[in-house]
Structure formats: C-alpha cells, structure tokens
Amino acid sequence: MRLKVLVDLPRHSRLDPLLDYLAPEAWPAGTLVRVPLGRREVCGIVWGPGDEAASPDGEGAAVALREIAQVLDALPPLGEAWRRLAAFAAGYYQRSLGEVALGALPPDLRELDATQLARRLRRSDKLDRDAAKAAASPSADPAVAAPLPEPSAEQREVLAQLAAMPPGPVLLFGATGSGKTEVYLREAARVLEAGGQVLVLVPEINLTPQLEARFAARFPGRRLVSLHSGLTPAQRLQGWLAAHLGRADLVLGTRMAIFAPLPRLGLIVIDEEHDPSYKQQEGARYSARDLAVWRGRSEGVPVLLGSATPSLESWHNALPAAEGGAGRYRRLDMPARIGGGALPRVRTVDLARIAAQFGKRAVYSQPLAPPLVDAMRERLERGEQSLVLLNRRGYAPVLHCTSCGWKSDCAHCSAWRVFHRSDRTLRCHHCGFSERVPFACPSCGDPDLQPMGRGTERLEEQIAELLPGARIGRIDADTTRHKGSLESQLAQVHDGEIDVLVGTQMVAKGHDFRRMTLVAAVQADAALFSSDFRAPERLFALLMQAGGRAGRDAELAGRSEIWLQTWHAAHPLYAALRRHDYPAFAAAQLLERESAAMPPYAFQALLRAEARSQQAACAFLDAVSAATLDWPEAAEVLIFPPVPAPIQRVADVERAQMLLEASSRQALHRLLARWQPVLAEAAAGTGEARILRWALDVDPLSI
C-alpha cells in the first residue's frame, strides 16, 4: 500500500514535501520512518494514506514508487495535535511543512535508525527510572520541602478567577515582584494534580536555571526537563523523549520548546510574554508566543501570558471591545509588589538643565551627571549596589582621526567597526571582521586617533574615575563569551563583591538582585526618535524590567530609584514611567499606532532580499511586486516600494526589503498563500541579477 511521508526537502525544491512511498502495512500518521530520497536515506514522518488513485501513467509515474526503508515504531506516533501545530506554523509563517515539522525534532533523532533508536529508548528508560527513583527518595520527600507561601490577596483573587474561567488565553498583568511566578506554580500544581503536563516558556536560556530551580523545589516528586539550545544534542533528545513519552510532567524551555510533543498538555505559561526573543529571527520566523496561543486554542488548554509590560499586541488583545480593544484574551491584574514594597522612584536627569548649570562639558565628557554620581556614592557608602545600563558594548562605537576625519568603517558592511580597548581591536559587530587598532590613521598617517561616543568598556572606566574605590563589574556579550562566565559574574553580584554593575540589556531581565537600590539608564533617548516604531515599547519595557531589579528586598524598596538621563525630560513616555503607568503608556502608543494604521491595527509581512548589488535586490522585489499588483488578493494589501535594509550591506552582501501591510490578517494571508511560486520565479535570475537569498518574515518585529 501507499503512504504519504513528509520529508524535509531542500529549500527551493519545487517538489511537494509529501511524497508517496510503498509500505507493507498502514503505519499510523505521525510514525517516524526512514525513506530513500535521491541517493540518501532521510528521516520522514508518515502523514497519512498515499494516493492509491494516482493513475499509473499520470504525472510522477515515470518514477517508480520506492519503499519505506525502516519504520521507527518503537516510538509512539507524533499525535494529531502536534501535526496540526506543525501544519499551522508552516502555513502561517510560509515555510515548507517538511522544514517546520522535521526541524522541530531533535537533530539527533533525525539521524537514528531503528536499531539505534531502540538502544536509545532503552537507555532513556533507565534514565527515567533513575530519575523517578531519585524523585521518590526520602531526601526529596515533599513533606520536607519548603512550606508554601500563603498567597497574597491579589494572588488569591487571580487564582480564583483562573479556576472559574474556561480555558483560553489570559494575560497576567503583574508588576515586577508582584508574585507572577507564584501564580504559575499554583496553576501548574493544579494541572499536575489532574494528570496534565505543563509547558513553561522563558525568553532566555540564562533564565531557565533560576526558574528550573524554583519549579524543582516546588514539585520534588515530579519529572522536570528543559529544552533549549544550550543543551548537548543527547540531552536535548533525552528531554524531548521524556516529553513525548509523557514521562516529563514539566517542560521548561525557550521558544523552541513550543514544538515539544506533549500528549497530556494541560497548561502553557509564557513568562515575560513581551520579550522579542520569542520570535525566531531566521529560517521559519515563528513567534513562540503566538503559536502558544494558537496551540492552547487548538488543544483546549489554558495559556497564561505574564508580564509587567505586555506587548502592545497582547495588551490590545486583552482590552475589551468596549475600550477599543480586540477582547480576545482575558486580563488579570496584580499591581502590588509582594510584601507591599514600593516600586522604585523614577528620577529624570534633565541634561539640558545640567548643561546650563555645570557647563556643556559636564554633559558631553562625563557619562553620569553630578546628581547621579552623588546618588551612586550614597549607595556605595551604605553598602548597596547600583546598575548602570548602556546598550552598546565595546569601548567606543567609532574610532576617528582628528586631522583628516577618517572613521573606522567596515570594509564589508555599511557600518562602523567598534573600538574594543581590552584587546585593542576594531571589530565589526555585523560581519565579525576584526583588526588590530592601527598605530596611525590609515588615511593620513596622523597617530592621533580618538574614540567617538561610548560603549560599556569606556563607561566602566569612566565610572571608576568618578567613584574611586568602588568595585566595578561589567556584564555584556564580550565578558560572557565563555561558558559559565555569566553565571560566575552574576554570582559575584549576588555575593556583594561588586558595587557598581555596568551592563547591556542582558542584565536587565529576570535577575533578582537583592542589594540593588539604583538602576540608571545613561542614554535612553535614542529609542524615542528611532525609525523603528516598536522602539518606545521596548524602551519602556526595558526600563520597567530594569527597575524591577531594584528594591526587590521590601526593606530596601523605599530607597530604590531608577535614574534616567535625558534631553527630553518632558516626554510622555518618561512621564508615564515616573508614574509606573503602563496602561497610560500603552493607551498613548495604541492611539498613535491606530492613527498611523500600524500593528496591532494592521498586519505586516516583510520580504527581505540579499544580492551582490542593491540594484539586483531591489529588482527582485520590484518584479515580485509587479507580478502581484493586479491580483484580486492584492486589493486589500498595501505593497510598499522596496527600500534598502537598515544596514544596507553586511559581509559584502547588499540587502533590501519590501513591506506588505493589510488591515486584516486574512487579507494578508490570502496574498501570501499564492506568493511562493512568484517569489521562486522572480529569484531565478542569472549572473549579477541572481538573488542570493530571500526570506519572508510574517509579523516582523523589526522593520
């Protein structure tokens, strides 16, 4: 008989990834198999019965049907719900089903044959038995686990509401430190009790160990696995198998975990749902948050989205129709911090006033205004910590020549190379091109090369001058390159070995710094005037999150402060921030978005193209646009003219992009559904005009 088998074909193959194969019996859909494909043998998934009716002399009959080589039936088939999710994701994000479904399997699994799989499963059985034994051992007796905290009034109210609600997406809007995690734990307990599996997504791998520890401590008898890209392939396979076989009760992971097969799924939690890292930025550019909502609906399971600063999309979805929202999610609020701690006071340093008072040099040559330095010195004297945020690593973003004006541009990108003082290199953060800093200007020979602007390295150095005696630490992508270095640096902060921590946004998320009573953002203004319409939203979230690091100790909360240095002290974003008023900020932003017809009031897709020349990239986009314009499907879609990408050239490749916008998701998708052949055709130029790569990004986060 014939079976349809899903395989992962090369990207631009014109073949349907669902191929017919011969099989001696009707293996159920979702069964893993190995099939011959060309001269290789690859992993495939049985997707359903084959085309028995296909006439022997019809299309494709020229190729004799081949037989399924091996059936990996030691593994239970991937369930219907999982297959639906993969199919939806492929359709929605416009990728091939084979790529999405097979790409969602652990890479190691795709390589195994039936014998290896059987061996692997035996080993996995043993590991699972050991884990179960360890969980049941007296030292892990739930009776000796820490006593549960009594829920706060707000938590009680939220839990009661959740219990009374039909399953569906719920936005848990809770201030930083309001005890959202405790709500997740209680909801998880309820679901585990009823025999369900719980999926918890976090934005970053760095945050998984903390959360894992909390869940493990709360559910000592339960099997918990994590799924993220930091695992070895063997660990990833082991965790995936535990999820799929229904042995794992809790699955904790980053965005990739949204594709974990969970036969008893009972709850999905998305922590910090606003975080941009839920969106995959290559290949199938899916949003794990959006897929979670879809998966919850599809499987009739509640989805809990938590944040102190929800994405405007989620906020809009949770706003009742009567208030102009979409009314798709329920919303539950927890405005108060646990222990009644106050939220940190927000203080803006008006740089214009500082310049008038202390002179312009005080503003341009010093990273921190005098009142901020005083406030940090006070912390130092009291033995408290400060965090200074600057979203730019390196010593200075550009090095320049004082006599001829030469700047450290990258030979391969339309970008500056960043001056890194620690190893005296000029490094391009886009293509990686790196060279020793020249002794003299490459253009005129003058040895006086000067840094322009400031990155974290320089900030660290300048703070050391401003606060003599302070122990200063720095955490950014450069200091945490080696495995384990982030952990050890964070431990130093926790152990009080550091007085001032300088860092990029990677330190602003999730960490619980007990002695930190001051957070300062030294260059926040750029986001106010960015061409990226989401920049203010991200800035607000970053500052609230960072502020959430301060004063988590209720005792210290009273003197916790967020400091902002700005030239625009009266800006409404800062005004809302001073009041910790996310709803007001969101309302203002939504009003702007609505009048400009931008998301969440419009739906977008971005077509990116890469070619040897900008002209070729744009010609491709123009050709696609011209071929599409008179389609009925294009009537409700605005197709913008192609433009160079924000960073036009990276690693000698020119990049351009074209935006599509529609007022309804359906209208946009009707067009996209017909688009692929047009794209493939337009891309098939030759020579200079050949497109190197193109990619479609549905619901892009940055444009």
Ligand X SMILES: Nc1ncnc2c1ncn2[C@@H]1O[C@H](COP(=O)(O)OP(=O)(O)OP(=O)(O)O)[C@@H](O)[C@H]1O
Shortest distance in whole angstroms from residue 655 CB to Zn ion: 13
Token readout for 455 is 């990155």
Number of H helices, E strands in the chain: 21, 28
Q: Which of 20, 154, 182, 457 binds ligand X (CB under 6 A)?
A: 182
Select from 29-37, 51-59, 146-154, 486-494 the region that touches ligand X (CB under 6 A): 146-154
In the three-class reduction of DSSP (H, G, I as helix; E, B as strand; rest coil), residue 279 is classed as strand
Q: Please give the residues from 472 up to 531 whose contact with ligand X meets the rule CB under 6 A.
A: 510
Shortest distance in whole angstroms from residue 549 CB to ligand X: 8
Q: Pick the closer one to ligand X by CB: 173 or 286.
A: 173
Select from 99-107, 143-151, 197-205, 309-317 the region that touches ligand X (CB under 6 A): 143-151
Nearest to 382 by CA among 564, 562, 555: 555
Q: Pick the closer one to ligand X by CB: 178 or 479.
A: 178
- Tell me which of ligand X, Zn ion, none is bound by residue 149, counting a contact when its beta carbon lies within the kind-specific cut-off of 5 to 8 angstroms: ligand X
- Tell me which of Zn ion, ligand X, none is bound by residue 514, counting a contact when its beta carbon lies within the kind-specific cut-off of 5 to 8 angstroms: none
Q: Which of 169, 174, 536, 700 binds ligand X (CB under 6 A)?
A: 174
Q: Pick the closer one to Zn ion by CB: 148 or 647.
A: 647
- Tell me which of Zn ion, ligand X, none is bound by residue 182, counting a contact when its beta carbon lies within the kind-specific cut-off of 5 to 8 angstroms: ligand X
- Tell me which of ligand X, Zn ion, none is bound by residue 52, counting a contact when its beta carbon lies within the kind-specific cut-off of 5 to 8 angstroms: none
Strands (E), 643-702: 643-650, 653-662, 691-698
CA 349 to each of CA 54, 449, 480, 575: distance values in angstroms, whole numbers, following the listed order:
74, 31, 31, 13
Would you count residue 203 as binding ligand X (CB under 6 A)? no
43 is in an annotated binding site: no
Give contact residues for Zn ion (rule: CB under 5 A). Answer: 410, 412-413, 428, 430-431, 433
Q: Pick the closer one to ligand X by CB: 363 or 501.
A: 501
CA 150 to each of CA 108, 143, 154, 239: distance values in angstroms, whole numbers, following the listed order:
44, 17, 11, 32
Nearest to 674 by CA among 629, 615, 618: 629
CA 578 to each of CA 67, 280, 374, 489: distance values in angstroms, whole numbers, following the listed order:
67, 33, 20, 31
Phi, psi of 338 (to 5 degrees): -60, 135
Q: Pick the closer one to ligand X by CB: 163 or 651.
A: 163
Select from 56-64, 151-159, 358-366, 672-680 the region that touches ligand X (CB under 6 A): 151-159
Q: Which of 44, 98, 179, 599 binds ligand X (CB under 6 A)?
A: 179
618 is in an annotated binding site: no
Note whether 384 and 516 are within 8 A (CB): yes
Q: Pick the closer one to Zn ion by CB: 410 or 500.
A: 410
- Tell me which of ligand X, Zn ion, none is bound by residue 225, counting a contact when its beta carbon lies within the kind-specific cut-off of 5 to 8 angstroms: none
- Tell me which of Zn ion, ligand X, none is bound by residue 480, counting a contact when its beta carbon lies within the kind-specific cut-off of 5 to 8 angstroms: none
Q: What is the DSSP letter of 429?
A: T
- Tell me which of Zn ion, ligand X, none is bound by residue 96, counting a contact when its beta carbon lies within the kind-specific cut-off of 5 to 8 angstroms: none
Residue at 529: amino acid letter = F
Shortest distance in whole angstroms from residue 423 CB to Zn ion: 17
Would you count residue 152 as binding ligand X (CB under 6 A)? yes
Shortest distance in whole angstroms from residue 194 CB to ligand X: 22
Shortest distance in whole angstroms from residue 270 CB to ligand X: 13
CA-to-CA distance for 188 and 193, rounded, in angstroms?
8
Q: Report the residue count for the chain.
A: 703
Q: Pick the closer one to ligand X by CB: 508 or 634.
A: 508
Select from 75-83, 172-180, 317-325, 467-475 the region that touches ligand X (CB under 6 A): 172-180
CA-to-CA distance for 441 and 451, rounded, in angstroms?
13
Select from 81-89, 173-181, 367-375, 596-604 the region that touches ligand X (CB under 6 A): 173-181
- Tell me which of Zn ion, ligand X, none is bound by residue 412, counting a contact when its beta carbon lies within the kind-specific cut-off of 5 to 8 angstroms: Zn ion
CA-to-CA distance for 121 and 235, rounded, in angstroms?
13
Q: Pick the closer one to ligand X by CB: 285 or 552.
A: 552
Token readout for 474 is 């720095």
Looking at the DSSP bridge assignments, the partners of residue 520 are: 388, 563
Q: Which DSSP string do the residues of 358-375 spell out, in sequence order?
A: H-HHHHHT-SS-HHHHHH
Q: How far is CA 172 from the centre of its chain?
A: 19
Q: Which of 225, 251, 257, 308 binds ligand X (CB under 6 A)?
A: 308
Note whether 484 and 477 are within 8 A (CB): no
- Give the per-residue contact string, 338-377, with ligand X (x = CB under 6 A; - = no): x---------------------------------------
| Tokens 């009567």, located at residue | 322
Nearest to 272 by CA among 201, 222, 169: 201
HSE toward the beta carbon, residue 235, CA cutoff 13 A: 10
Strands (E), 468-588: 472-475, 500-503, 516-521, 561-566
Q: Pick the closer one to Zn ion by CB: 337 or 649.
A: 649
CA-to-CA distance for 668 and 219, rounded, in angstroms?
44
CA-to-CA distance for 389 and 507, rounded, in angstroms?
8
Which residues lie near ligand X (CB under 6 A)?
149-152, 155, 174, 176-182, 308, 338, 510, 548
State the binding site: 401, 404, 410, 413, 428, 431, 441, 444
- Bind-site residues for Zn(2+): 401, 404, 410, 413, 428, 431, 441, 444
